[in-house]
């Protein structure tokens, strides 16, 4: 969904006090019934990440970590069945998954000294049963499943959604009989930067030439779009010419200002496509008939 | 225009009986002297500048209204004039300067002395049948003498300087106001100043000085002095005095405004065949000029006629090749750009970043460089130099140099794009107006926002449009490794281009009929693109080569001498200009070589022209310039020569008409000064305001048919875009096949259908002619009907032919592994191109050919 900046700001304002929990998502959805849940969740997620980036450092200070850890140890001892970590996270306004990570990291220092690796930490976060402490494992698990912004579960969901939309994109292209090279093929050919799709024969979308398509299963806000532009989209432009970005969960309409330059934003697979149509067995004759 | 006046000056002055003193027996002889003769031509050339200023000076107070709107600049203080001409001098390539400066020198040459220019050039001259001499009579008033073909003897007798005026006596031409000539001071006054022209053009202030000469102070011995032999410098005080006398008389005559106007109109009238080659706009302005109308209605009528014939509507201010929405970037090509093309990972990844930085800089420049206060170095310098450092540490300059040059060529090869060239058009506007309408809108915008200053016939070299970005990039990067790679590559490409074969006329003319000859048309196009590209590359090669020696001011004489001594010993010129030039002259390819050499030499630093290699080349060019004579209009190569005359020109006798008006104006933007001057006159006479009023004719938008036009426009864009990310060989293959198949299709039609039609047509004719009471209109009708059907059938058959043959050829020529979609697309583009080519020829020619033959 293409949002005006004003609409977007309304939503952002509504997310300011929310926590990354299911209940909060429900509140948001009720407040904006006309927007899709995915869009709202994506906007919230991006906003929450910004909030976390601003505040995370204060939770990382050694003395704060230590005090969190001691408090966890005490409370877990007193109430082994209670979701102690989750409560703590909500109380200090930190993402539960990040709180879990912080405590597990500190716990591993005690168990295996300073030397434990990031890989071990990550694998335990993904698979809490590997954690030698049963109570901590439960707590970590609760944190992970109750966090809709951070943590291995969310990462996994995001990845799956990304894949799903790439598949969706490829299906749409095949449906339209547009042949393309995908990222994997491009890598094997030695391209240094690769969009999701390069069209073998370019198309015109809403009057703009498109050589490549990038699929983003997220909402395009200022920050993420700027980052993508600098790290990806302009690089594609520099190599393949103009292209199309699909933000499946919508974007701030005002960001779609590089059309003439050669970066077109859409929130769905475009319908206004003009092709060279050189095949005799044309797929979508309706376009041609319009001429 | 200068040439027009120049060439005719002599005649008019004699007509005015100003040279009564010389109206002795020698008069006729002198009159009949061909103006090709170096001294005379060049002198007159120079004179024209002064004359024009003089005319303006004289006529503006006299005419109650209607003088060109130039008054603000009229009383120029000497200092200012100096500045202006200094600036103008920038443009003058060494060669032009040379010719002019030496002409001044020659001004004083005695009538008795042998023209060394003529002497030394006669040697060359002997090698070819002279195309010049048979035209001699053309320039004079009809007193052509028999037996004047030789050149040698002739050149001797005509050495006397022009009988009437001391054209170079600056004191007699106040507006230019330069210091008196001292022919023996040996400092070349030319200066190439690599600053953007735009910076020197304050908006909307019309610059005048149409007539100022390209130099400040006079002026060096000719660069080609050694070629020309020093004797020409010897002045004869006697003839000088005589000339001064005459000049005074002429001045007297021209004090009368009516005489001035009469003089000017007569000049135009007598040089009509040259005037007729001006662009439509200038012709229209001339025709509408009330003075022309009142002094010579005949000329006005001729001008009106010529408008209709003017070969092309030249929109030289705004020659915009297209408004394609494709940003002209150089695509990543796995063949040349993937990891296997780099020595190590680091180099590969560095280059990956360089590409992004480079395009980021380009985009930023496009967006911001017109903003007030934006500065290239301040904004992009840090990033660019950082990038150069990385390149250096990765030893990666060649890759970047290649990208840089490809991008340069991509963006600047065509005729200058207006405004921000890379800027794709607004989609909504495109939708509304169509591509053509959008182009017009852009031109309108340009006319409204851009200063329409008159810069005179000799503006400094400039880097218009995107060229400015590339020039500033090179300057800012200031990276010797990069420059070396660029030089190597530019030089190699230039030499390759210079070798490009230009089809000999016999090959193409025999094959098809004169007019609609498509092969020749293609050849013209190809030539023009080669020429434009070569000029671009040569300018940059010159820029980079002389960059290390550029100084903002002319160095002192001592420094100059020292650096000449140093540079002639140690520095190897990047390009052996003499060899290139000699080779080109020998092979009669000056039409291609001279224009790009001029671009190269226009970048020379102060000392450059003094170095032997460049001095010699400039001398040769000077000789070429002086030997050049324009033939009559009917000459198919008239424009070839006009181009050479205009870039500095000369041509042995190429016989291929390669140059069209558009190309001429593109290569010589200063030609448009003529039109600007006329426009200034119009606005001056009507509005009397300081600025030039641009006449903009409002037209209503034509909405009909736009969607279809847009759609087909879009398809064309898509086709272009299709090639963008494919290997270059694909495009070459498609274009080649289309070209050949199209041509074969026409030949096939001619061999089959057309000859069959001829037979039928002849039969009809014969039958009708036999019946005694045949009716002409009926006969025409039946033949037309035949042709009409035949035309349609020919198109159909040609298209079918193209379809079949294209398919076979493309399939055979593209790699087996080509993906089916790419193959299909290539096939149909080929078919379309081939059929288009064939059909356009057929529809243009079939009727005409048949009627003619019948």
Nearest to B825 among A190, A201, A208 (CB): A201
Residue B720 has pLDDT above 70, yes or no: yes
pLDDT tens digits in sequence order for chain A, 291 residues long? 789 999 999 999 998 888 888 888 888 899 999 899 899 999 999 999 998 998 888 888 889 999 999 999 999 889 888 899 999 998 888 999 999 999 999 998 888 766 778 888 899 999 999 988 899 999 999 999 988 889 999 999 999 999 999 999 999 999 999 999 988 888 888 888 899 999 999 999 998 999 999 999 999 999 999 999 999 999 999 999 999 999 999 999 999 998 888 899 999 999 989 888 754 443 443 333 333
The pLDDT of residue B35 is: 34
Q: CB of B333 within 8 Å of any CB in chain A?
A: no
What's the pLDDT tens digit per position in B743-776?
A: 888 888 888 877 777 777 777 777 777 766 666 6
Chain A: give the shortest CA distance to residue B38, in Å: 53
Most confidently predicted of A232-246, B81-95, B605-619: A232-246
Q: CB of A161 within 8 Å of any CB in chain B?
A: no
Residues on chain B touching A237 (C-beta within 8 angstroms): 327, 329, 359
Q: How far apart are CA A278 and CA B715, in angstroms?
A: 11
The pLDDT of residue B522 is: 72
Chain A: give the shortest CA distance to residue B442, in Å: 15
What's the pLDDT tens digit per position in B376-409?
A: 999 999 999 998 988 887 778 888 999 999 999 8
**CA-only gyration radius of chain B, Å:** 29
CB count in 10 Å sphere of residue B442: 21
Contacts of B793 (CB under 8 A, 6+ apart): B753
What's the pLDDT tens digit per position in B42-68?
A: 344 444 444 444 444 444 444 434 333
Q: Who has greater pLDDT, B715 or B174?
A: B715
DSSP SS3 for A244: strand
Contact B348 A192 (CB under 8 A): yes
Structural domains present in chain B: 244-309 (no CATH), 344-414+437-501+522-551+570-666 (1.25.40.180), 714-850 (no CATH)
- In a mutational test of the A interface, the residue from B322, B323, B324, B327 whose CB has the highest number of chain A CBs within 10 Å is B327
Whether the Cβ atoms of residue B306 and residue B298 lie closer than 8 Å to each other: no
CB count in 10 Å sphere of residue A14: 17
Q: CB of A201 within 8 Å of any CB in chain B?
A: yes
Residues on chain B touching A180 (C-beta within 8 angstroms): none
Q: CB of A179 within 8 Å of any CB in chain B?
A: yes
Model confidence band, residue B16 (pLDDT cutoffs 50, 70, 90): very low
DSSP SS3 for A193: coil
Strands (DSSP E) found in A206-279: 208-216, 243-247, 251-252, 263-266, 273-274
Q: Who has greater pLDDT, B516 or B282?
A: B282
Return the structure tokens found at B50. 């002064």
Q: CB of B419 within 8 Å of any CB in chain A?
A: no
Contact B360 A234 (CB under 8 A): yes
The pLDDT of residue A188 is: 87
Residues on chain A touching B825 (C-beta within 8 angstroms): 201, 276, 278
Q: CB of A289 within 8 Å of any CB in chain B?
A: no
Q: CB of A206 within 8 Å of any CB in chain B?
A: yes
Residue B193 has pLDDT above 70, yes or no: no
For residue B663, which of B577, B535, B540 has the smallest C-alpha distance? B535
Q: How far apart are CA A256 and CA A258, in angstroms?
A: 6
Residues on chain A touching B718 (C-beta within 8 angstroms): 201-204, 209, 274-276
Q: Which of B11-25, B422-436, B452-466, B485-499 has the lowest mean pLDDT?
A: B11-25
Q: How far apart are CA B444 and CA B449, in angstroms?
A: 9
Most confidently predicted of A243-252, B598-607, B679-688, B844-853: A243-252
- In a mutational test of the A interface, the residue from B425, B725, B727, B820 whose CB has the highest number of chain A CBs within 10 Å is B725
Contact A278 B329 (CB under 8 A): no
The pLDDT of residue B520 is: 67
Cβ under 8 Å to A: B residues 787-846: 819-822, 824-825, 827-829
Please give the mean pLDDT across all residues of chain B.
Answer: 65
Give the H/E segment covering residue A182.
Answer: strand A180-182
Whether the Cβ atoms of residue A96 and residue A146 lie closer than 8 Å to each other: yes
- In a mutational test of the B interface, the residue from A204, A235, A239 whose CB has the highest number of chain B CBs within 10 Å is A239
Contact B825 A278 (CB under 8 A): yes
Q: CB of B309 within 8 Å of any CB in chain A?
A: no
Residue B548 has pLDDT above 50, yes or no: yes
Residue B791 has pLDDT above 80, yes or no: no
Whether the Cβ atoms of residue B59 and residue B261 lie closer than 8 Å to each other: yes
Strands (DSSP E) found in B462-586: none
What is the pLDDT averaged over residues B764-791? 71
Model confidence band, residue B444 (pLDDT cutoffs 50, 70, 90): low
Q: Which of A270-279, B308-317, B790-799, B828-837 has the lowest mean pLDDT?
A: B308-317
Residue B631 has pLDDT above 80, yes or no: no
The pLDDT of residue A187 is: 87
Contacts of B586 (CB under 8 A, 6+ apart): none
Residue B509 has pLDDT above 60, yes or no: no
Q: CB of A200 within 8 Å of any CB in chain B?
A: yes
Chain B's closest residue to A200, CA to CA, is B822
Long-range contacts of B20-29 (CB under 8 A, 24+ apart): B21/B242, B21/B245, B21/B246, B22/B163, B22/B164, B22/B246, B26/B160, B26/B163, B27/B163, B28/B143, B29/B145, B29/B157
Contact B715 A276 (CB under 8 A): yes
Residues on chain A touching B358 (C-beta within 8 angstroms): 238
**What does the DSSP assignment read for B588-636?**
T-HHHHHHHHHHHHTT--SSGGGSHHHHHHHHHHHHHHHH-----TT-T
Whether the Cβ atoms of residue B349 and residue B441 lie closer than 8 Å to each other: no
- In a mutational test of the A interface, the residue from B332, B357, B722, B731 whose CB has the highest number of chain A CBs within 10 Å is B332
């Amino acid at each position: 969904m293409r949002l005006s900046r004003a609409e977007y700001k309304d939503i952002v304002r509504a997310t300011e006090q929310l926590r990354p929990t299911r209940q909060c998502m429900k509140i948001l959805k009720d407040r904006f019934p006309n927007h899709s849940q995915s869009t709202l969740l994506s906007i919230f997620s991006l906003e929450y990440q910004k909030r976390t980036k601003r505040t995370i450092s204060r939770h990382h200070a050694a003395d704060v970590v230590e005090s969190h850890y001691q408090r966890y140890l005490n409370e877990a001892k007193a109430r082994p069945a209670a979701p102690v970590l989750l409560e703590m996270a909500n109380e200090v306004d930190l993402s539960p998954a990040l709180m879990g990570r912080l405590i597990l990291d500190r716990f591993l220092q005690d168990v295996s000294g300073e030397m434990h690796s990031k890989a071990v930490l990550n694998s335990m976060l993904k698979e809490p049963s590997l954690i030698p402490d049963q109570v901590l494992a439960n707590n970590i698990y609760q944190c992970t499943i109750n966090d809709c912004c951070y943590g291995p579960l969310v990462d996994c969901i995001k990845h799956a959604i990304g894949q799903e939309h790439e598949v969706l994109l490829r299906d749409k292209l095949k449906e339209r009989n547009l042949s393309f090279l995908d990222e994997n093929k491009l890598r094997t050919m030695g391209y240094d930067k690769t969009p999701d799709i390069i069209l073998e024969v370019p198309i015109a979308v809403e009057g703009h030439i498109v050589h490549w398509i990038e699929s983003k299963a997220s909402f395009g806000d200022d920050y993420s779009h700027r980052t993508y532009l600098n790290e990806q989209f302009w690089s594609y432009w520099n190599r393949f010419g103009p292209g199309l970005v699909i933000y499946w969960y919508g974007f701030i309409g005002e960001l779609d200002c590089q059309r003439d330059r050669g970066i077109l934003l859409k929130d769905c697979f475009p319908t206004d496509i003009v092709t060279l149509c050189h095949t005799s067995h044309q797929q979508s004759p309706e376009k041609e008939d319009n001429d | 225009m200068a040439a027009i006046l120049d060439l005719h000056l002599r005649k008019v002055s004699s007509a005015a009986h100003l040279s009564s003193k010389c109206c002795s027996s020698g008069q006729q002889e002198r009159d009949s002297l061909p103006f090709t003769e170096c001294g005379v031509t060049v002198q007159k050339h120079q004179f024209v500048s002064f004359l024009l200023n003089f005319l303006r000076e004289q006529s503006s107070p006299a005419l109650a209204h209607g003088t060109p709107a130039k008054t603000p600049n009229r009383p120029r203080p000497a200092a200012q004039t100096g500045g202006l001409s200094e600036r103008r001098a920038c443009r003058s390539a060494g060669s032009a300067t040379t010719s002019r400066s030496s002409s001044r020198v020659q001004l004083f040459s005695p009538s008795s002395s042998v023209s060394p220019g003529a002497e030394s050039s006669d040697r060359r001259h002997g090698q070819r049948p002279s195309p010049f001499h048979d035209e001699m009579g053309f320039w004079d008033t009809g007193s052509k003498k028999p037996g004047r073909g030789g050149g040698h003897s002739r050149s001797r007798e005509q050495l006397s300087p022009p009988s009437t005026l001391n054209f170079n006596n600056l004191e007699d031409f106040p507006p230019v106001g330069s210091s008196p000539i001292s022919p023996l001071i040996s400092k070349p006054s030319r200066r190439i100043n690599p600053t953007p022209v735009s910076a020197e053009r304050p908006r909307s202030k019309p610059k005048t000085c149409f007539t100022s000469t390209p130099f400040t102070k006079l002026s060096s011995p000719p660069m080609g002095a050694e070629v020309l032999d020093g004797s020409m410098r010897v002045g004869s005080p006697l003839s000088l005095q005589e000339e001064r006398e005459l000049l005074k008389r002429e001045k007297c005559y021209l004090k009368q405004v009516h005489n001035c106007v009469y003089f000017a109109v007569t000049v135009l009238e007598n040089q009509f065949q040259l005037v007729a080659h001006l662009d439509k706009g200038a012709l229209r302005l001339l025709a509408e000029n009330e003075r022309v109308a009142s002094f010579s209605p005949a000329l006005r009528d001729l001008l009106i006629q010529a408008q209709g014939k003017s070969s092309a509507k030249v929109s030289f201010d705004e020659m915009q090749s297209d408004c394609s929405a494709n940003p002209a970037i150089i695509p990543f090509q796995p063949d040349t750009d993937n990891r296997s093309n780099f020595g190590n990972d680091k180099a590969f990844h560095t280059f990956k970043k360089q590409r992004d930085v480079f395009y980021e800089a380009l985009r930023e420049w496009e967006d911001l460089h017109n903003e007030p206060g934006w500065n290239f170095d301040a904004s992009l310098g840090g990033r660019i130099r950082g990038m150069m450092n990385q390149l250096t540490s990765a030893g990666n300059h060649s890759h970047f140099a290649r990208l840089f040059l490809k991008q340069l060529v991509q963006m600047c090869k065509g005729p200058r794009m207006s405004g921000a060239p890379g800027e794709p058009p607004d989609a909504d506007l495109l939708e509304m107006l169509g591509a053509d309408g959008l182009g017009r809108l852009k031109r309108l915008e340009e006319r409204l926002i851009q200063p329409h200053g008159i810069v005179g016939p000799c503006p400094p070299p400039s880097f218009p449009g995107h060229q400015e970005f590339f020039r500033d990039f090179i300057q800012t990067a200031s990276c010797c490794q990069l420059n070396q790679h660029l030089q190597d590559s530019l030089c190699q490409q230039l030499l390759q281009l210079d070798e490009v074969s230009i089809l000999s006329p016999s090959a193409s003319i025999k094959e098809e009929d004169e007019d609609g000859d498509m092969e020749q048309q293609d050849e013209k196009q190809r030539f023009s693109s080669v020429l434009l590209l070569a000029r671009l590359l040569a300018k940059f090669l010159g820029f980079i080569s002389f960059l290390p020696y550029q100084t903002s001011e002319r160095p002192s004489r001592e420094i100059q001498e020292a650096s000449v001594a140093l540079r002639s010993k140690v520095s190897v010129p990047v390009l052996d200009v003499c060899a290139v030039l000699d080779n080109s002259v020998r092979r009669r390819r000056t039409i291609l070589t001279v224009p790009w050499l001029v671009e190269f030499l226009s970048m020379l630093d102060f000392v450059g022209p003094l170095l032997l290699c460049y001095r010699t080349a400039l001398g040769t060019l000077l000789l070429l310039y002086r030997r050049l004579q324009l033939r009559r209009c009917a000459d198919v190569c008239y424009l070839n020569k006009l181009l050479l005359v205009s870039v500095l020109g000369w041509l042995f006798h190429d016989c291929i008409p390669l140059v069209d008006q558009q190309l001429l104006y593109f290569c010589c933007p200063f030609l448009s000064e003529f039109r600007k001057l006329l426009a200034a006159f119009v606005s001056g006479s009507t509005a009397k305001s300081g600025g030039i009023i641009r006449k903009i004719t409002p037209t209503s938008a034509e909405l009909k048919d736009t969607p279809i036009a847009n759609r087909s426009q879009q398809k064309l864009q898509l086709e272009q875009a299709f090639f963008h990310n494919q290997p270059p060989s694909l495009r070459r293959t498609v274009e080649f096949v289309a070209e050949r198949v199209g041509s074969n299709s026409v030949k096939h039609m001619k061999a089959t259908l057309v000859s069959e039609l001829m037979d039928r047509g002849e039969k009809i004719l014969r039958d009708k002619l036999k019946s005694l009471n045949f009716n002409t209109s009926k006969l025409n009708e039946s033949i037309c009907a035949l042709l009409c059907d035949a035309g349609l059938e020919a198109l159909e058959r040609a298209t079918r032919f193209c379809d079949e043959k294209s398919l076979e050829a493309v399939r055979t020529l593209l790699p087996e592994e080509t993906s089916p979609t790419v193959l299909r697309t290539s096939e149909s583009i080929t078919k379309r191109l081939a059929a288009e080519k064939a059909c356009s020829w057929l529809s243009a020619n079939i009727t005409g050919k048949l009627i003619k033959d019948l």
